[in-house]
Structure 1
Amino acid sequence: MNIIIATIKSWNIKNTEEFIENNPEYNIKLITDKDNLSLKNIEDFNPDYIFFPHWSWIIPEEIYSNYNCIVFHMTDLPFGRGGSPLQNLIVRGIKNTKISALKVDGGLDTGDIYLKEDLNLNGSAEEIFIRLSNIIFEKMIPFILNEKPEPQKQKGEVVKFKRRKPAESEIEKKFSIAKVYDYIRMLDAEGYPKAFIEYGDLKLEFNRAKLTANGIVADVKITEINKDDNNE
């Protein structure tokens, strides 16, 4: 069986490499660059499945209409269709969610569902993403390859999420300690804009937060604000 895994995050790349080593019965190709996800490359490899544990680019119709393309979304679809699922879940106070494995169909998280698995949202964003990745590679991909389930239509009320902008990472004065902690942890992963406050001409960005009995302990990076950027 030929399998392509297309992903960009370090934890998914690590899990892909381990999956390749532990499953020699499969012919697996790892793609980490969007330019390599071309129809010609796909046709030459002729995969039975293409898995996208985390992919930041649009999947071309000529690929998903001709091959079994499966993405993984961190909500109990159709609840939470759209961008920034982790951050949108945490700001809503949600503690547990589902990972939905769905067929790519051209819509925004509208495809049929292969299966769902539980996911706890404790910890930093990076810790959650690593937990998510482990479930995908240890449970969900093996289940799809072994059981070959038929995807089912999504059921339930559709709730759409909007992709959050970097400016929405600002910690506001009215926030409680719990909300400040959630803001810091939900953005604490590679590639995400850190939670921040502005103090005069300085920008303070926070990560590695720990909630204690007396408040929050966190690392902070302090830089001067580029006024030209603010005026754009």
Structure 2
Amino acid sequence: MKISILSQKESWINDYLSRWILDLSGEHEISWVHRQDALKGGDILFILSFWSIVARRYIEQFSSAVVVHESDLPKGRGWSPVSWQILEGKNIIPITLFRAAEKVDSGEIYLRDQIELEGHELIDEIRKKQAMKTIELCKKFIESYPDILEKGIPQKGEVTYYRKRTPEDSRLDISKTLHEQFNLFRIADNEKYPAFFDYKGQRYILKISKFSSMKND
């Protein structure tokens, strides 16, 4: 089959996709791009960690176009669903593979699963689990294609949205304990959007890592 993968050039998930794509290339014709206008059409388009809505004219070049999103759709449409759910105190994060549609995160659902966390994982560990489950769903879709297209289920229930996170969302409240804000530390990226607080006119950055990880370096 002709399979295309569209991901944001700056996305962390690319490190994991590159390994999967090497495996796929032995069985299928693979195109991996970071701009929607670079899409050339084919059988399946996987839209993974891409930060814009893909235009219909590009979607229609493929027999099927699907997205993976980490929420129990239609709840939790929108941005950064893993981070928002961790801040809500959740350790079981639903993950859904569904048909790409014009309205964000609204297409028929083909596959559901979940990411299981223990509550101690930091951002790199969370991302690894997220990426592995994303690729697992994509593999299942390929294995079941095209029969799986007849099994799509329309989304039903209350629709909710998560807003886009900004660097300001990594702000710590110095009146609260570390325990109270531990989940915020877990999802903070030490380089791109580290946890911080302002005090007496100065800004302070706090970075977090596991001692066990430091011992292994």
The 5-angstrom pairing of residues 1-232 of structure 1 reads 1-7=1-7, 8=9, 12-23=13-24, 24-32=26-34, 34=35, 37-38=36-37, 41-43=38-40, 46-67=41-62, 68-121=64-117, 122=119, 123-137=121-135, 139-148=136-145, 149-150=148-149, 151-188=152-189, 191=192, 193-210=193-210
After TM superposition, what 4+ stretches of structure 1 lie above 4 angstroms from structure 2? none
Report SS of the residue matched to 2:39: helix
Superposition deviation, residue 54 in structure 1:
0.9
The percent identity for this pair of structures is 23
Larger strand fraction of residues: 1
Superposition deviation, residue 10 in structure 1:
6.1
Structure 1 residue runs of 5 or longer lacking an equivalent are 212-232
Q: Deviations over 1:105-128 (max 9, x none)?
A: 111211111101110244122221
Separation of aligned partners in 1, 2:166 and 2:21: 36
Q: 2:115 corresponds to which letter in structure 1? A: L
**What TM-score comes out, normalization by structure 2 length?**
0.82
Superposition deviation, residue 210 in structure 1:
4.8
Assess, with a 3 A threshold, how the Cα gap between structure 1 residues 186 and 104 changes in structure 2: closer, same or farther: same
Report SS of the residue matched to 1:208: coil
Superposition deviation, residue 189 in structure 1:
6.5
Separation of aligned partners in 1, 2:128 and 2:51: 17
Superposition deviation, residue 185 in structure 1:
1.3
Separation of aligned partners in 1, 2:209 and 2:3: 38
Separation of aligned partners in 2, 1:156 and 1:144: 24
Q: Which position in structure 2 is the counterpart of 1:228?
A: none
Superposition deviation, residue 57 in structure 1:
2.2
Q: 2:111 corresponds to which letter in structure 1? A: L
Superposition deviation, residue 15 in structure 1:
3.0
Superposition deviation, residue 168 in structure 1:
2.4
Report SS of the residue matched to 1:51: strand
| Contact 1:124/1:189 (8 A) holds in 2 | no
RMSD: 2.3
| Contact 1:185/1:207 (8 A) holds in 2 | no
Q: Deviations over 1:179-202 (max 9, x none)?
A: 3221111122664x2221012232
